[in-house]
Amino acid sequence: MVFLSSSKINSELTKSEKLLKKLPYWKISERLKLELKLRHLKEQLHK
């Protein structure tokens, strides 16, 4: 398990959110992967 600093988590969050907005709606698997990553990062940030 890798522990990340809150600034690293925030940068990953913003990068993932931007990428998610740019993805076309028909790329479902990539969108799901990114959404799961975002959810996981947000949970880590709130702990």
d(CA 30, CA 35): 9
Report CA dihedral (13, 17, 19, 20) to the nearest 10 degrees. 130
**Global confidence as pTM:** 0.72
In 10 A of CB 41, how many CB atoms?
Answer: 19
pLDDT range class, residue 10, cuts 50, 70, 90: confident
Q: 26-40: per-residue pLDDT in tens? A: 899 999 999 999 999
The average confidence (pLDDT) of the chain is: 86
CA–chain centroid gap for 23, Å, is 13
Please check whether residue 42 is in contact with residue 4, taking contact to mean a CB–CB distance below 8 angstroms.
Answer: no
Does the structure show a pLDDT above 90 at 4? no
Domain boundaries, the chain: 6-46
Mean pLDDT of 7-17: 89
